[in-house]
Amino acid sequence: MTSQAQGATGAQTTDIHAADIQLAQARISAVIAPTPLQYCPRLSEETGAEVYLKREDLQDVRSYKIRGAYNNISQLTAEERGAGIVAASAGNHAQGVAYACRTLEITGRIYVPNQTPKQKRDRIMVHGGDWVEVIVTGDSFDEASAAAHAYSLETGATMVEPFDARNTIIGQGTVAAEILAQLTAMGKQADTIVVPVGGGGLIAGVASYLHDMAPHTAIVGVEPASAASMQAALDNDGPITLEAIDPFVDGAAVKRIGDANYQVIDANRSRVHMMSVSEGAVCTEMLGLYQNEGIVAEPAGALSVTGLTQLQTRPGEVVVCIISGGNNDVLRYNEIVERSLVHRGLKHYFLVNFPQEPGQLRMFLEEILGPNDDITLFEYLKRNNRETGTALVGLQLGSATDLEPLLERMANSRISCQQLQPGSPEYEFLT
């Protein structure tokens, strides 16, 4: 069996030890430098714990994915390299593969879904140059993966899995090896490591290393609420394909957890605790990292810090949050701010049916809006009849507690106001 085939089978996959990961460290160290482990005063003060951030966003490809990709590709046989490489990715694994292709001079074909931000697509070509070709296909990672596997079967190209392969898992486990070594140098030990979870490669690697080297360290996996495929697998006693996911947290928007990754986590159930967080909460923490620590995290990169807000930490507990990636397109920040405002209860939308009489807008401003409420959207839709006309109004409140008084004023007004609820078809259309 090749290393790729071994990575997709059962017992051989779960038999990963610290020694395997240490060998991978030596293998990749010539091209991949350790990333900083930084103390975070703000999050430490907020939680009472001693919080450190593992800055994988500072990798050359701005993501930990280069570890697994390079460890995997560097061990391919001459025959496997000669057949060329094919991979599927939401964007970060693709950059690691592209980097390895150019460094090792191997041709590669990389499939990414339509949801992959243009920034990530552009970076793939920067890292791969003339050695890689990027194919954009499908509406999710899973569809892009199916296309990549079909190409591999058709041409004999070597498939390099983004998470569901033994050598990929081993490469990602080097993150945990660095964390423990860096804490030891400070005279500290990790009580909890918080890990973002998409396909499961990183958490499987972390769990494998800690099983041997730090068996008392707790592992917390954090998934986006609308793509919680690891929790679904654990509940089902095996991987299960989710019917639909929200692609916003693109680096972790995976419908089905990897078989190999599930096996590792299943074997470590007693030490791994899963949680899910909303996309709006992720946006809030992305903005917090940017505004306070100057960290440009992508949505998946902020999952661990988002999960930290739900943890019941002990005073002085040493907690490490892995910032897994920083490939975020600046064009997405309007949506990020919008989702954060909605999550914090500050942004709301209404259909306002104005009587067609003079002074009605002034009445709305003076009698309904509070002193700290701002109109962020006002779009006159249509006149329903001779007496009324409807406008779509977006309001940003000064405080989430201002909503109930606002709704009371609306209820007592002769101007009819209907609040649009998140999740409704009307709300999804306008946002």
For the chain, what percent of residues have pLDDT higher than 70?
Answer: 95
Beta 218-224 vs 318-323: how paired, if at all?
A: unpaired
Confidence of residue 299 (pLDDT cuts 50, 70, 90): very high
Instruction: Tell me how far apart the terminal alpha carbons of the chain are, to the nearest angstrom.
Output: 49
Residue 14 has pLDDT above 80, yes or no: no
DSSP assignment letter at 35: P
SS3 at position 334: helix
Condensed to tens digits (0 to 9), the pLDDT of residues 203-247 reads: 999 999 999 999 999 999 999 999 999 999 999 999 999 999 999
Condensed to tens digits (0 to 9), the pLDDT of residues 320-364 reads: 999 999 998 888 899 999 999 999 999 999 999 998 888 899 999
Condensed to tens digits (0 to 9), the pLDDT of residues 104-132 reads: 999 999 999 998 888 889 999 999 999 99
Write down the pLDDT at residue 2: 31
Condensed to tens digits (0 to 9), the pLDDT of residues 41-70 reads: 999 999 999 999 999 999 999 999 999 999
Q: Which fold has domain 3-65+168-338?
A: Rossmann fold (3.40.50)
> What one-character-per-residue DSSP string does 106-117 give?
--EEEEE-TTS-
For residue 276, indicate whether it is catalytic: no
Q: Which of 3, 54, 63, 65 is catalytic?
A: 65
Domain boundaries, the chain: 3-65+168-338, 66-164, 345-430
For the chain, what percent of residues have pLDDT higher than 90?
Answer: 84
Residue 172 has pLDDT above 80, yes or no: yes
Mean pLDDT of the chain: 92
Q: How far apart are CA 11 and CA 268, in angstroms?
A: 14
CA separation, residue 427 to residues 92, 148, 168, 346, 350 (Å)? 31, 35, 40, 15, 9
CA separation, residue 254 to residues 9, 147, 248, 378, 397 (Å)? 20, 15, 11, 37, 34
Same CATH topology for 3-65+168-338 and 345-430: the answer is no
Write down the pLDDT at residue 266: 96
Residue 403 has pLDDT above 80, yes or no: yes
Write down the pLDDT at residue 383: 62
Residue 198 has pLDDT above 90, yes or no: yes
Q: Which of 54, 324, 340, 347 is catalytic?
A: 324
Residue 257, token pair as written in the block = 């957890």
For residue 54, indicate whether it is catalytic: no
Return phi, psi of residue 262, to 5°: -60, -45
Please check whether the domain covering 345-430 is classified as CATH 3.30.70.260.
yes
Return phi, psi of residue 79, to 5°: -65, -45
CATH (one of 3.40.50.880, 3.40.50.10310, 3.40.50.1100, 1.20.120.530) for 66-164: 3.40.50.1100
Condensed to tens digits (0 to 9), the pLDDT of residues 363-374 reads: 999 999 999 999
